[in-house]
Amino acid sequence: MASSNPFIYGEIVAAGAFADRDEEYHRLTEDLRAGQKVFLISPRRYGKSSLIRRALDSLARERVITVSVTVAGSSSYVGFLEAYAQALIAAETPIARFRQWAGELMRSMRPEITVDPGGSDRPGAPSLSLSFPTVRTSRDAGRLAAEVFALPGRIAAARKRPVAIALDEFQTIASFDEGSVEEALRAAVQQQRDVGYVFAGSEPSLMDRMISPRRPFYKAGPVMRLQKIDPADFAEWLEARFAKSGLRAESGLGAAIVDLADNVPYDVQRLAHETWDDVKAAGRKAVGVDDLHATLSRILRQQGIVFEESWQRLTLAQRGVLRALVLEGGEELLSADVRQRHRLAGASSVQSSLAALIREDIVMRDGSRYMLTDSLYREWIARKTF
């Protein structure tokens, strides 16, 4: 039987394909088991969602009731409350009992429940949806929020089992109902001793503001910040995964992948995955740095139109700053020397361009350093722009 690609990207990574993060995994699992309210802050593409899934899967094996909701998946406050209530009530609940269980838990706001016997998303399997069509005003939404946010504690008490909840892309919640949702949620969760929460966000600056003084979640629980994986450990892990799948990795391949991907876990997995595919398709048994660069060139050709369109949408000032960022490794971009070398405008103009690039999710901060969120876009800029 042909071996399958051992590198996964673009989806939640299962434990077997998960690189490192053992310390973070154990800490997060222990905190959730203890009913802590954890704030997990991570730049995009660092494996935050996969880490959360690994922790929840572990707790589920201990009979902890687990619930995961992506806040950014909702377009409104009421939409979020509906999605959250549905996920909570559906947790380990047979569809046949969902309506009864919802009635027992929802004490004042009665949901409208629709059961589709055929299941539009999974033909042949039943599915359900929950909504609150009578909620029309902000006052109605406030009453609904109090009811929904109390659900985890009620579920833990009714089933006599602990609950662990993940609210991913949590920074989005600040945009709902002019931010009052933070106060309502904090008031509820601080009363729930048998419920662990992980409030996870991939926009560090927004998450930091949410846990700052004079905000409801200030000192509400421990803060975890995902850092980059040790590059030497990551390189060793990559080469071991190649070997386990039947491909002998030449010395230095792992380090080259980590370096090209700027040690961003998503990009590391992507480059390794695509290189593995190309070498396997060629029918070879060994993989080296030359193969990696051949794969990188192929991907850049395929993605060229996408990168070109992104580049064209930028202002001339933003293009100049972005190219300087790539060539200077993201360091000292405001210095007179760098600005003169790359013909940039004044420091305030550079700062404005960087702020705009961060808002567009093209650039992110890594300590004092700026870096592109997509390492392949960085390579395209270095090779194709002037």
Tens digits of pLDDT across the chain (386 residues):
457 899 988 766 665 556 668 899 999 999 999 999 999 999 888 889 999 999 999 999 999 999 999 999 999 999 999 999 999 999 988 887 888 888 888 878 888 888 776 655 555 556 788 899 889 888 889 999 999 999 999 999 999 999 999 999 999 998 886 568 899 999 999 999 999 999 999 888 889 999 999 899 999 999 999 988 999 999 999 999 999 999 999 999 999 999 999 999 999 999 999 999 999 999 999 999 999 999 999 999 999 999 999 999 999 999 999 999 999 999 999 999 999 999 999 999 999 999 999 989 899 888 789 999 999 999 999 999 99
What residues have CB less than 8 Å from 22, skipping those under 6 apart? none
Determine the Cα–Cα distance for residues 115 and 95; give it in Å rounded to an integer: 8
What SS3 state is found at 163?
strand
Model pLDDT, residue 138: 86
Closest C-alpha among 176, 182, 179 to residue 199: 182
Determine the Cα–Cα distance for residues 386 and 382; give it in Å rounded to an integer: 8
Q: What is the DSSP letter of 174?
A: G
- E strand or H helix that includes residue 99: helix 95-105
Both structure tokens of 380: 């395209």
Model pLDDT, residue 21: 84
Both structure tokens of 15: 């434990």
**CATH number given to 21-225:** 3.40.50.300
Percentages helix, strand, coil for the chain (3-state, rounded to 5) are: 55, 15, 35
Contacts by residues 343-348 (CB-CB < 8 Å, ≥ 24 positions apart): 344/317, 344/320, 345/317
Check: CB of residue 184 under 8 Å from CB of residue 154. Answer: no
Check: CB of residue 36 under 8 Å from CB of residue 55. Answer: no
Determine the Cα–Cα distance for residues 35 and 72; give it in Å rounded to an integer: 24
Question: Looking at the chain, which residues constitute the CATH 3.40.50.300 domain(s)?
Answer: 21-225
Model pLDDT, residue 178: 57
The dihedral built from the CA positions of residue 98, 101, 103 and 109, taken in this order, carries a sign that is: negative
Q: Please, what's the b/e burial string for 133-154 (b: 16 or more CB within 10 A of its CB; e: otherwise)?
A: eebeeeeebbebbebbbbbbbb
Model pLDDT, residue 105: 87
CB atoms within 10 A of CB 120: 9
129 has which bridge partners?
114
What residues have CB less than 8 Å from 385, skipping those under 6 apart? 311, 319, 323
% of the chain residues with pLDDT over 90:
72
Model pLDDT, residue 1: 43
**To 10 degrees, what angle do helices 138-159 and 180-189 make?**
20
Model pLDDT, residue 9: 84
Radius of gyration of the chain (CA): 24
Model pLDDT, residue 120: 52
CB atoms within 10 A of CB 305: 9
The CA–CA distances, whole Å, from 196 to 35, 222, 257 equal: 4, 12, 37
What residues have CB less than 8 Å from 326, skipping those under 6 apart? 372, 378, 381, 382
DSSP 180-231: HHHHHHHHHHTT-TTEEEEEEES-HHHHHHHTSTTSTTTTSS-EEE--PPPH
